A and B are shown apart, each in its own frame.
Chain A
């Protein structure tokens, strides 16, 4: 009797492993690496006709988050927008040059995504758009939520 009670009983781990792998697969498929460049605390305007960004290129779009005080953030950090846009444009020009891409009329073939809080005033927004334009960014994508709620 004592011999039979000392036998080790192992639970069948196969179903739990199956379930865990299913969950891992789900999270791997829905993971959003681009989310890191977005400030999800911003209250974007709602516009039903807003569409996903139509851009197919090797270089990542430049994302600028503008909060209601007009402070610009990129990749989670507050930036000096003048210096930041200038350095990003300079870097992109170097990369394009190295890749043999010629600029047409000095226009950078990469869009700038402007994610501004809906209460940001036009003066703040215009200043940033003009800055991007001066550095060669002419494609501007203005972000909005396609429906209410997050």
Chain B
């Protein structure tokens, strides 16, 4: 009994509340917190349109007809056999003024949502034609065209599906009025 009570007493003594010094830990935690608060940048709600710019193919295009004279290009473009050509002219502000697929005018005036839908339907119908296997789109654009207007066109192009079921990602760009040899010649 005595032994037990001694043990119990000893245990009781050693079991006294040990108080940790929290101040140092709190200091460190606040330092970490300050670092994270100061370096915090909310991630932007940002996305991408991924395009694949294929290497140059020096072949004469047989599917797309020569662009109209007012586009500023000669009829002798160098394109791949399976290239669909889009010709985009813009006004002074950089908005789309006119968009042709080959020689066919699809958009006249600004690229409003209705015009975007019309372009999408037109491209869809072209990509669905059997026997013509477009595998890339080449956008010939006016140098003044703004990036946001260009993105709308690229977006429509990348929404198309190829004959093998894969999404259309091969997009190339050229500037209207620039000789082919100076800007890459795709």
Contacts and interface: CB of A to CB of B under 8 A. Distances in A.
A71 interface: no
A134 B46 CA distance: 27
B99 to A, nearest CB: 13
Contacts of B144: 121-123
B33 A20 contact: yes
A86 interface: no
Contacts of A107: 55
Given A44-B46, A116-B147, A141-B48, A130 B26 contact: no
Contact of A17 (B29, B55, B90, B148): B29
A98 interface: no
B45 A145 contact: yes
B64 to A, nearest CB: 20
A108 to B, nearest CB: 12
Give the size category of A's interface with B: 35 or more
A50 B53 contact: no
Contacts of B159: 49
Interface in B23-40: 23, 25-26, 29-30, 32-33, 36-37, 39-40
A53 interface: yes
A120 B146 contact: yes
Contacts of B42: 30, 32
| Dominant SS among interface residues on chain A | mixed
B44 interface: yes
Interface of A: 10, 13-14, 16-17, 20-21, 23-24, 27-28, 30-32, 35, 38, 40, 44-47, 49-54, 105-107, 111, 113, 116-123, 125-126, 129-130, 132-134, 138-147, 149-150
- Pick the 10 closest A-B CB pairs, nearest first: A50-B47, A27-B36, A45-B148, A13-B22, A118-B148, A123-B143, A141-B48, A122-B145, A20-B29, A35-B41
23 contacts: A20-B29, A23-B36, A24-B32, A24-B36, A27-B33, A35-B43, A47-B47, A49-B47, A49-B49, A53-B50, A116-B147, A121-B94, A122-B147, A125-B173, A126-B143, A126-B173, A132-B53, A139-B51, A139-B52, A140-B50, A143-B46, A145-B44, A147-B45
